[in-house]
Structure 1
């Protein structure tokens, strides 16, 4: 065969032949998965140092950390403001219902007002469902966020205080069964409301508004004086 024929049958480049072959690793490949942005550049990560930065590497990393901390603090401030606004909005509605329920002396009317009052803490409509979902998200995050924890605790304590006042007033007006211990019932009713709200957020197709009302009324019936 002539030299010209041999030269026309050159072998393809190694990368072209083996690139699609299983188990083939190009020599230029990194030994770990590289996260890349469009254009093939690796996405910058916290702690990366710009090669062109004239500062000492330790100073560059420290400065980057301060910027990151600053952004985190800004997010925390926004979250605290949002949670504060949510607590205030829900609290204002509850207070309006509470004043009416506690002041009412007619047994049937007070029962209806009490149901409406406690219903403000449940996912009964298009306003209360998203509020409860946001509240639950904040409450979960507060487990690891000391800045959110006081606001969440305030809401929990406020709910317990409210339930305790409703029960105490009911006892004063003769509407609470004699066997009911107000301290224990305060915790029990608060836990029931919290459980209904949580399930209403997590599985709204099962824990419907009608079912929540039925469960709440059944519980109130169980502690009412016959």
Structure 2
């Protein structure tokens, strides 16, 4: 009997090969032939699951966004309500939570590096523009929800939400970029320290 192939798992495996290639060699190195070699498949198998390189790239970018989102959702379930926390406790909890977005270990560094590559490519590639917009807006949306929750629980003064959400999103984007592209200059602990210092310095009510 022929071996049954899980199509979704095969697509996920191929997307992982794209991420490894892009993290190691850059996005220009990603071709159907290179992905086939990286995933241990023949090129016909890759073409069976993806219409072409554009389809493959979109799926890989979608997968990267989704896995980061899923990791944040899992962490969110264990967060304590801000109403139960002091300012310092809230800053520590948020540092641990938001660190999931930062390239602080090898898997997250690979994700962040590839996401940076995709975002830069999307500047001139309209096929990726909507996903790039989603990724960038996602960081701001997350920052806004956090700041709004802190304001509701009297950890931040009223009227500061818009500015503080923009500041937090910009810090997360900047740390991601710096830590992904030059991890030696901005090591993981430095990223955490900068994030923790920012959260602790938010205006008090």
Aligned length: 153
What is the correspondence of 1:31-180 to structure 2 with a 5 Å cutoff?
74-101=52-79, 103-108=81-86, 109-176=89-156, 178=157
Pairing partner for 2:187 from 201, 208, 224: 208
TM-score (norm 1): 0.63
Task: Show the counterpart of 2:174.
Answer: 195
Q: Distance in 1 between matches of 2:158 and 2:151?
A: 11
Cα distance change on mapping 1:99 and 1:164 into 2, 3 Å: farther
TM-score (norm 2): 0.69
Task: Show the counterpart of 1:36.
Answer: none
Q: Which secondary structure does the structure 2 equivalent of 1:123 belong to?
A: coil
Q: Which has the larger radius of gyration?
A: 1
Gaps of 5+ in 1: 1-72
Q: Distance in 2 between matches of 1:211 and 1:131?
A: 19
Identify which of structures 1 and 2 has the higher relative contact order when contacts are C-alpha pairs closer than 8 Å and 6+ apart: 2
What is the deviation of 1:179? Answer: 7.2
Gaps of 5+ in 2: 1-50
Cα distance change on mapping 1:213 and 1:223 into 2, 3 Å: same
Q: Distance in 1 between matches of 2:184 and 2:163?
A: 31
What is the deviation of 1:111? Answer: 3.2
Residue by residue over 1:61-120, the C-alpha shift from the partner in whole angstroms, topping out at 9 and shown as x without a partner, is xxxxxxxxxxxx711110000001111100111122234437453215543331122111
Residue by residue over 1:168-220, the C-alpha shift from the partner in whole angstroms, topping out at 9 and shown as x without a partner, is 111111212x2762111111111111111101011110101111111111111
Q: CA RMSD in A?
A: 1.9
Between Structure 1 and Structure 2, the one with more helix by share is 2
Runs of 4+ in 1 over 6 A off after TM superposition: none
Task: Show the counterpart of 1:222.
Answer: 201
What is the deviation of 1:152? Answer: 1.2
Q: Is the 8 A contact 1:164 1:183 kept in 2?
A: yes
Q: Which secondary structure does the structure 1 equivalent of 2:186 belong to?
A: coil
